[in-house]
Each structure stands twice: as structure tokens, then as C-alpha cells.
């Protein structure tokens, strides 16, 4: 879309200069009139060589950007702004040029007669199925602003859970990386020099020293084996976490692990309850909700259970009965679903479940982090002690030999 440089006077007589994207000169004048500006000079900016592609390459579209967009759009719509004007205003503020271009395309699609949700579906990289389905209900019901506020709130809560997990695992990752780096440097560059010195003693070396020298020799002489092993582990990890056949092996094992399985189960309960509450309160049909939830939680066991629930619901069973038959959901979730069905407040009940498990997950993560810190310190102390004994024991033996 062409860019125009606008120089104008506002209602107070102050000079305003800005860049505006528009399809024609007439549209620029119309925008200026809407904003209460009197145009003085309007010039079309010719395309020049720029390096925006560099910033776009390093800028990724995050959930935070989606939350901000959704909240801004909801606020503007609630204030009575037409959706096309709201999208234009937001696109001019967005830093990511690709996303700004997508918003402009969405706006133009709406102007040509497309519905908002249908225009969003053209950009699955930014808007997933749950987002589009929720917007569709809001658009059809005429309550889009309120639906968008709810959607932003739920996405933000979901992102908070993910961020808590990332923050909890950051410390162990840094410590582990520091330990590995220190070991590689010592074994590759430092220990070989000590090994050459100790071998000149022509005496039997202590066991820790012999072990350390053997490890160092393996690192230096058989480094290609370690590279191959690292690549194999990386490929195996990608297979288990990115492919459907790998997930069928990895996800059941993950749920069976005592601590990780417990944390994973709580994360699933939080996300299931929160997004089910959002979709149900939006008025989406139950079977469609179950289909949409498959795209939110990436766990093959959970997806299998949702398929079972859907089959039971289609057969005439209630949601609470169907959930109970899976033997997967926690007793609290089952009980709150049953109460919600009886009272007609299923969305509120599941929202409370999500809040409860989110608080419990936060407590569990903090407790695990607290327990992990001394464990990491013990590992570091043990490694330092082993290295110290390996390096200094031969020296002490040499001193005794010289004195003797």
C-alpha cells in the first residue's frame, strides 16, 4: 500500500507531520478530516532501499503481540470505532511489518465483503482455529468486543503458565550449560597438559587422576564419537517431540514419570479448563469445542481421550459421564463439570478449576525449584572435588617422594 507524508495543522494550530498508508490521495484527506487535521502538504513516498527485512527476520510474532492486538481491537470496538478503522489504526502502530501487512490485508478483505473471522482464517500463522472460532461467535452474536476481551484474558493466562515453567527451568539450564562448558574446556585444554607432566613422573597415578586422564584422552582422540552421539540425541529428541509416531512413544512415558508426569497433567488440566470455559461461554457447540481443544494441547493421550468423550457425547451421554469414562481427568475436574452441568454454570466452574490448578502448578514449580537448587550445588561440589583430587593428589605424592 502506498505511503504518504502528511503535513497538517491541528485544531490548536500546531503543525503535525506523520506518515500514513492509504490507497489514494482522497483517502489521506478523509483520514485527516476524521482526525481533525487541516492538510498543508501531502506527498507520496517513493519506495527506497531499506533494511526492514533484517528487523523482520529477527522479530517473531509472540503471544504477547496477539494479546496486545486483541485488547487494542476490543477497546476500539467497544468505543464505537468501525472495525476497518480500528484495524488501520493498529496496523500503523505495529512494529512487525509482516503483521502490519497482514492486518491491512484483513481490513481490505472486510471492505470487499468478507467477514472478520473469514479474513483472519487467511493468516493461520497469526490466528489459530480457537481464535477464529471464538471471533466467529462474537461476530455472529454482535458481541465481538466482549468476546475479544475474554479471548485476550484467556490467552494471557495461558501464556503466564508457560512463562512460569520457562522461568522455573531457566536456572537449571544455565547451571547445566555452565557445568558442561567448564568440563569441556578443562578436559580438552587443561587436563592434557597436566597429564603430560604426570606421565613424566613414571609412577603409578592415583585412581581419580587415571580416570580423568582417560576421559580427557577420549575427548581429544575420539571427539567425533561425541559429536555423533550429540547429533543422535538431537535427532531422537526432534523425533519424539515433533513427529506423530514419536509423540505416541514419548507422551505416555512422560505422563508415567512421577514428577514430570504430575506437572504435565496439571498443565493439561489448566489449559483444558480455561479454554473449554472460554469456548463454552462463547456459545460454541460442545462437539466443536472438543475438536478445537485438540489443537490447543499437544498431547496424543489427551487427544485420544477427547475423541472418546466426543463419541460418548454423540451417543447421548452427558459431558460429566463421558469425562469420567476416560479415567484421565482428575476427580476435581470431573466433579466441577458435573456441578456445572447441574447448575447451568459450566463455564464458571471450569474457570475456577483453571484458577485452582494454576495456583497449585505455581506452588509445585516453586517447590521443585527450591529442591533443585541444593541438588545442583551438590553436583557442582562433587565435580570440583573430583577435579581437585585428580589434579593435586599426584602432586602430594610427588612431594612425599622428594621428602622421603
Query: What pLDDT, on the 0 to 100 scale, is given for residue 349?
Result: 93
Residues 330 and 269: their CA atoms lie apart, in Å, by 8
Residues 134 and 38: their CA atoms lie apart, in Å, by 40
Residues 76 and 280: their CA atoms lie apart, in Å, by 25
User: How far, rounded to the nearest angstrom, does the alpha carbon of residue 215 sit from its chain's CA centroid?
Assistant: 38
- Residue spans of alpha helices (H) in 243-299: 244-256, 258-281, 286-293
Closest by CA to 372, choosing from 137, 172, 146, is 172
pTM for the full model?
Answer: 0.71
Strand order through the sheet with 38-45: 15-21, 3-9, 38-45
Residue 51 in contact with residue 11, Cβ under 8 Å?
Answer: no
Query: What pLDDT, on the 0 to 100 scale, is given for residue 53?
Result: 47
Determine how β-strand 38-45 pairs with β-strand 15-21: unpaired
CATH code for 259-349?
A: 1.20.81.30
Cell of 38: 487541516
Domain boundaries in the chain?
Answer: 3-47, 61-127, 259-349
pLDDT tens for the chain, residues 1 to 404: 567 777 777 777 778 777 776 666 677 777 777 677 777 777 776 655 444 544 545 456 788 889 999 999 999 999 888 999 999 889 888 888 888 888 988 998 898 888 998 999 888 889 988 899 889 888 888 889 999 998 998 889 888 888 888 887 787 888 888 888 888 888 888 888 877 777 776 667 788 888 888 888 888 888 888 889 989 999 999 999 888 899 999 999 999 988 889 889 999 999 899 999 988 988 888 999 999 888 888 889 999 999 999 999 999 999 999 999 999 999 999 999 999 999 989 999 999 999 999 889 888 888 888 888 888 888 888 888 888 888 787 777 666 655 55
Place of cell 506523520: 18
Place of cell 544455565: 174
Beta bridge partners of 5: 19, 43
Place of cell 577420549: 218
CB atoms near residue 45 (< 10 Å):
12
DSSP conformation class of 123: -
Query: What pLDDT, on the 0 to 100 scale, is given for residue 51?
Result: 47
DSSP conformation class of 46: P
Residues 370 and 379: their CA atoms lie apart, in Å, by 15
Cell of 9: 495543522
CB atoms near residue 347 (< 10 Å):
18
Same fold for the pair 61-127 and 259-349: yes
User: CA gyration radius for the chain?
Assistant: 30
Closest by CA to 5, choosing from 54, 56, 40, is 40
Q: Tell me which of 2.60.40.10, 3.40.50.720, 2.40.50.140, 1.20.81.30 is the CATH number of domain 61-127.
A: 1.20.81.30
- Residue spans of alpha helices (H) in 316-345: 319-325, 331-343
Residue 328 in contact with residue 301, Cβ under 8 Å?
Answer: yes
Query: What pLDDT, on the 0 to 100 scale, is given for residue 320?
Result: 93
Residues 60 and 311: their CA atoms lie apart, in Å, by 39
DSSP 3-state assignment of 4? strand
> Regarding the domain delimited by 3-47, which CATH topology (the fold level of the hierarchy) does it fall under?
Ubiquitin-like (UB roll) (3.10.20)
Closest by CA to 269, choosing from 169, 337, 170, is 337
Amino acid at each position: 500500500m502506498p505511503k504518504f507524508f502528511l503535513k497538517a495543522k491541528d485544531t490548536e494550530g500546531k503543525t503535525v507531520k506523520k506518515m500514513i498508508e492509504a490507497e489514494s490521495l482522497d483517502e489521506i484527506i478523509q483520514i485527516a478530516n476524521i482526525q481533525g487535521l487541516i492538510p498543508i502538504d501531502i506527498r507520496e513516498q517513493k519506495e527506497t532501499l531499506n533494511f526492514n527485512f533484517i528487523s523482520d527476520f529477527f522479530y517473531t510474532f509472540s503471544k504477547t503481540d496477539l494479546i496486545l492486538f486483541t485488547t487494542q481491537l476490543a477497546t476500539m470496538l467497544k468505543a464505537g470505532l468501525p472495525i476497518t478503522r480500528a484495524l488501520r489504526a493498529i496496523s500503523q502502530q505495529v512494529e512487525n511489518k509482516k503483521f502490519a501487512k497482514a492486518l491491512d490485508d484483513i481490513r481490505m478483505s472486510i471492505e470487499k465483503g468478507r467477514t472478520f473471522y473469514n479474513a483472519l482464517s487467511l493468516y493461520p500463522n497469526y490466528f489459530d482455529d480457537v481464535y477464529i472460532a471464538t471471533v466467529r461467535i462474537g461476530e455472529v452474536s454482535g458481541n465481538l468486543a466482549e468476546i475479544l476481551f475474554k479471548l485476550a484474558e484467556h490467552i494471557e493466562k495461558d501464556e503466564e503458565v508457560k512463562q512460569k515453567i520457562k522461568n522455573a527451568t531457566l536456572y537449571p539450564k544455565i547451571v547445566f550449560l555452565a557445568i558442561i562448558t567448564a568440563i569441556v574446556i578443562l578436559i580438552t585444554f587443561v587436563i592434557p597438559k597436566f597429564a603430560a607432566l604426570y606421565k613424566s613422573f613414571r609412577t603409578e597415578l592415583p585412581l581419580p587422576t587415571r580416570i580423568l586422564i582417560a576421559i580427557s584422552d577420549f575427548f581429544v582422540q575420539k571427539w567425533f564419537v561425541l559429536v555423533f552421539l550429540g547429533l543422535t540425541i538431537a535427532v531422537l529428541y526432534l523425533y519424539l517431540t515433533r513427529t506423530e509416531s514419536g509423540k505416541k512413544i514419548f507422551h505416555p512415558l512422560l505422563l508415567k514419570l512421577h514428577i514430570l508426569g504430575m506437572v504435565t497433567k496439571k498443565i493439561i488440566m489448566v489449559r483444558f479448563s480455561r479454554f473449554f470455559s472460554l469456548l463454552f461461554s462463547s456459545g460454541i457447540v460442545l462437539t466443536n469445542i472438543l475438536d478445537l481443544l485438540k489443537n490447543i494441547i499437544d498431547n496424543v493421550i489427551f487427544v485420544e481421550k477427547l475423541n472418546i468423550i466426543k463419541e460418548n457425547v454423540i451417543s447421548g451421554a452427558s459431558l460429566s459421564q463421558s469425562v469420567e469414562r476416560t479415567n484421565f481427568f482428575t476427580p476435581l475436574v470431573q466433579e466441577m463439570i458435573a456441578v456445572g452441568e447441574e447448575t447451568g454454570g459450566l463455564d464458571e466452574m471450569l474457570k475456577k478449576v483453571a484458577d485452582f490448578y494454576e495456583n497449585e502448578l505455581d506452588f509445585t514449580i516453586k517447590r521443585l525449584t527450591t529442591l533443585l537448587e541444593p541438588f545442583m550445588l551438590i553436583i557442582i561440589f562433587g565435580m570440583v572435588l573430583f577435579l581437585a583430587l585428580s589434579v593435586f593428589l599426584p602432586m602430594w605424592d610427588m612431594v612425599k617422594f622428594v621428602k622421603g
